[in-house]
Amino acid sequence: MFPELLKTRRFFPIFACQFLSALNDNFIKNALVILILFRIGTDKGGLLVTLAGTTLIVPFFFLSALGGELADKFDKAKVAQKLKLAEIPVAVIAATGFMFSSAYLLFLALILFGSLAALFGPIKYGILPDHLETRELPAANALVEGATFLAILGGTIAGGIAMATSNGVALTPAGAVATLLIVFAMLGWGSAKLILPTGAAAPKLPITTNIIASTFRLIGELRTDRRLWVGGLITSWFWAIGVATLTLFPILVEEHLGGSEAVVTAGLALFTLGIALGSALAAAASKTRPNLTLVPIGALLMGLFSLDIAWTVWITPAATGSALTIMALGTTHAGIRLAFDLVALSASGGLFIVPAFAAVQSWASADHRARVVAAVNILNAGGMSLSLGALLVLQIAGVGFAHLFLLIGLANLLVLILILRFWGDKGS
């Protein structure tokens, strides 16, 4: 079903649009991470990396409700076009940040990109049921999730190339990086103009100007439907675990394993491969409707592989000396085992998220779907923010990587118990 979806205008423009946006977001974020870890070299590098992730996420908590209202009140395709047009001047700010290697401008660009992404989120997922059949939703979500993490990988690679130096001299001209950012933004706008119109789902819906009030109102509305509420909590857990893993991994590589920038990129490639594999398996197992049996299975596997990462880190002494290459780390028992665990953990996440979110999309009514997606995005942002906040507190307290992954593993097993108790495989 993947090739058929990618060939149709019902799906491909929105797929391309969200991919290009995520690519720019993560290009900037991961370039900033490398700038902090390998060029600034501050002893607070780990905390600043976590702050960079938080900067991109927090706008989702405050602006998702407004995005959901806009998407339900107006034609989703037209709203998408306006948002993508607004990304072009933000890309100019980011480009200027690269030109002058300014962490301040890059942080500002992250905030603005995060704000636009928050407004776009309800459209990205809410529009899929408008153009696709229920049986197509798992495959479409698998492609979107896979593309999101592919964008993370692409952003990491591009950010690494942009920040690479030799004897203190940048290897990539700043002008080339700046141009690429603006080109990506313009291509995103161009793809948005190809999205098929949907019409207004709720044209009489009033827009709430108080974004705090609208945020809590949407959460309250989601809680009235137990099935949607639990589904939203499940998806938020996936993003909480995902952001924790993606935040910890580059710090683990640089500080504990002694790996180079290339090792960080290789790890992100493995993580992306795992997400794609798990998402594809989930789509294949969901023939006519989302297969919810996969959700508790995914939670169990995420817990087990997180615990194995914790054990591997625990028995591996911290590296000293020069940075290890991919080949050097790949010849060690710890390197091979961590690579396997990373792929397996992310594949388990794909099994976990794809059927859960496809089910939420199919359960939501057409005139309220974008706001349901917005409410879920708020939960996702809350989950990620709490996850990053907990990481900040634990890092400040001096908790090591092994204990952090131990906590992640145990938390996944607790979530498994809660899923079996409150939802299980109902509807599978």
Task: Please give the structure tokens belonging to residue 388.
Answer: 């990053």
Domain encompassing residue 384: 2-196+209-422
The answer to whether position 428 is within a domain reads no
Residue 92 CA to residue 112 CA, distance in Å, equals 11
427 lies in some domain: no
202 domain-assigned: no
The pLDDT tens digits of the residues spanning 75-106 come to: 999 999 999 999 999 989 988 887 887 777 87
Instruction: State how many domains the chain has.
Output: 1
For the stretch 31-46, pLDDT in tens is 666 666 655 555 555 5
Q: Is residue 215 part of a domain?
A: yes
For residues 245 and 202, what is the distance between their CA atoms, to the nearest angstrom? 38
Question: Residue 118 falls within a domain, yes or no?
Answer: yes
Give the CA angle between residues 166, 167, 168 to the nearest 5°.
90
158 within domain boundaries: yes
What does the pLDDT profile of the chain (428 residues) look like in tens digits?
A: 577 888 888 889 988 888 887 787 777 776 666 666 655 555 555 566 667 767 777 888 888 889 999 988 999 999 999 999 999 999 899 888 878 877 778 788 888 988 998 899 888 878 888 888 878 888 887 788 777 777 777 776 776 666 665 555 566 677 777 888 888 889 989 999 999 998 888 888 888 888 888 888 889 999 999 889 999 999 999 989 988 888 888 778 777 777 776 777 788 788 888 988 898 898 888 877 788 889 999 999 999 999 999 998 898 877 665 566 777 777 778 788 888 999 999 999 999 998 998 888 888 887 888 889 889 988 988 888 888 888 888 988 888 888 999 999 999 999 999 998 886 544 44
Q: Sign of dihedral through CA atoms 96, 186, 150, 65? A: positive
User: Is 394 domain-assigned?
Assistant: yes
Count of helix runs (H) and strand runs (E) in the chain: 16, 2
Give the CATH number of the domain where residue 332 resides.
Answer: 1.20.1250.20
Cα–Cα dist 253/258, whole Å: 6
Half-sphere exposure (CA, 13 Å, Cβ side) for 333? 6
Q: Model pTM greater than 0.85?
A: no
Burial classification of residue 392, based on how many CB atoms lie within 10 Å of its CB (0-12 exposed, 13-18 middle, 19 or more buried): middle
Q: Is residue 342 part of a domain?
A: yes
